[in-house]
Amino acid sequence: MSADTLTVHAELAWLGGQTAERDVLIEARDGRFTTVTPGAAAPAGALRLPGLTLPGLVNTHSHVFHRAIRGHTQSGVADFWAWRDLMYGVAARLDPDTLYRLAAATYAEMALSGITSVGEFHYLHHDLDGRPYADPNELSHAVIRAATDVGIRITVLDTCYLQGDVTGTPLAGVQRRFDDGSWQGWARRVEALRPSSPLARVGAAIHSVRAVPHLAFGPIAEFAADQQLPLHVHLSEQPAENQACLAHYNRTPTELLADAGVWSSAATAVHATHLTDADIAALGASGTSISMCCTTERDLADGVGPAVALHAAGSPLCVGSDAHSVIDLWEEGRAIELDERLVSGIRGHLPVPVIAEALTGSGAASIGWDAGRIEAGALADLVTVALDSPRTAGARSGDALAHVLFAATAADVRTVIVGGRQIVREGTHLHLPEVGAELEAAVASALGRAAGS
Ligand SMILES: [Zn+2]
């Protein structure tokens, strides 16, 4: 098998239907699938994939440097705003080298969990005093290099962040690192960001209705449309954001962004936790995707968003590990359904293939990749989950797809392929074999401490 061709034989593979298919021969050339044949014999030389194979998972919402404070905020931090203060402490320290190292180790953790593409919602732009680096996109290039060095795709969702609250309070302290001065300054910087790697692309983001003046929403949406960039927005994560928006604009965040023409099938609302019925209808009718980040929303006591209602209204669902209290998209996917069960007292809201689609194809569309499905022509990204682990044993006797989506964890991932190239084999990253040790060192350096202390 040469570097630009791939032939694999999957014991079971999910091809988009109600259940997995058996004995699927999958071939790729130059990074894209060429043929997909269920019920086929394995040709000599094929890479055999025992277990269940799916399209590579897509993490649509990451703030990679938040990985440094995992486990640091589980006591004595009462709410989202207190947590944010701690997170800002890390943001105030990072430089291009420490960010690169932390991002590479974290993206390797993602790869090991089956993630083949990440949407990095990137708002840390400038030097410690708020001044641009010699290359104003230095930190964007650091996260791009980190992802491509560990072999996963990245969409840098380059984020516009201009003010401290809805009243236009100027940015202060660490927030000056986020500040491009104006939406035009942001757009000039984004236009200059041209990644050379085929694994990297650019998207746009409005941080939130808090952080961008409303008169900039329309121009940013037009810029994104002109440049054919996916557009992401944090939406109604916290009741306090809604209250401030209503008090200042007399509109909900969803309404305010709708007025400016932000919502469309190229847009993704992240969280969408506290919505009115009219908000849900507007988002659904526009075809806006919803990035659910359930483990973060739990961790930060945000609440349970109306994902099922949004899906019924017309919004595709996708997932993100966001603040990385854990990195496990299998958990993110099932949490959409399971959290709704807790709220409603009713089981069975989302069919199993809808959850699988949220982890794969819908996520890829949200961050602008022609991936997330195993079919001829799509980018050749795959993940294979073992079916003989303590968690997945028994899956072969029933619906393997449902079993994996409701019981597998990141630890059950065995093989990961991106663009036809294997990056994880037998649960080990091929370029970064000691991901735990690298994370230990990278987190310590991001926190300004000696490793292990
Ligand atoms: Zn976020």
pLDDT in tens, 133-152: 999 999 999 999 999 999 99
Tens of pLDDT, residues 54-99: 999 999 999 999 999 998 888 888 888 888 888 999 999 999 999 9
The answer to whether residue 453 scores a pLDDT higher than 80 is: no
Could you confirm whether 322 is annotated as catalytic? yes
Ligand 1 mean position, distance from CA 31 (Å): 30
Ligand 1 mean position, distance from CA 232 (Å): 10
Cα 172 to chain centroid, rounded:
28
The answer to whether residue 450 scores a pLDDT higher than 80 is: no
Count how many residues are written for the chain.
453
Q: Are 344 and 380 in contact (CB under 8 A)?
A: no
State the pTM of this model: 0.97
Tens of pLDDT, residues 435-448: 999 999 999 999 98
What does the alpha-carbon distance between residue 361 and residue 383 come to, in Å, rounded to a whole number?
13
Q: Match 């085929």 to its residue by tokens.
A: 198
Ligand 1 mean position, distance from CA 376 (Å): 33
Tens of pLDDT, residues 153-202: 999 999 999 999 999 999 999 999 999 999 999 999 999 999 999 999 99
Catalytic residue (choose from 180, 322, 328, 381): 322
Ligand 1 mean position, distance from CA 407 (Å): 26
What does the alpha-carbon distance between residue 168 and residue 106 come to, in Å, rounded to a whole number?
34
Instruction: Give residues with Cβ within 8 angstroms of 176, minimum separation 6.
Output: 126, 129, 130
What does the alpha-carbon distance between residue 85 and residue 212 come to, in Å, rounded to a whole number?
20
Ligand 1 mean position, distance from CA 234 (Å): 6
How confident is the model at residue 147, as a pLDDT? 98
Catalytic residue (choose from 9, 126, 141, 271): 271
What does the alpha-carbon distance between residue 129 and residue 64 come to, in Å, rounded to a whole number?
21
Ligand 1 mean position, distance from CA 202 (Å): 17
Beta strands in 123-224 (DSSP E): 153-160, 200-206
Query: Which parts of 198-328 fold into alpha helices (H)?
Result: 217-227, 239-249, 253-259, 277-286, 294-299, 307-313
Ligand 1 mean position, distance from CA 292 (Å): 10
What does the alpha-carbon distance between residue 58 and residue 330 come to, in Å, rounded to a whole number?
11
What does the alpha-carbon distance between residue 221 and residue 223 come to, in Å, rounded to a whole number?
5
Ligand 1 ion: residues within 5 Å (CB):
322
Q: Are 165 and 175 in contact (CB under 8 A)?
A: no
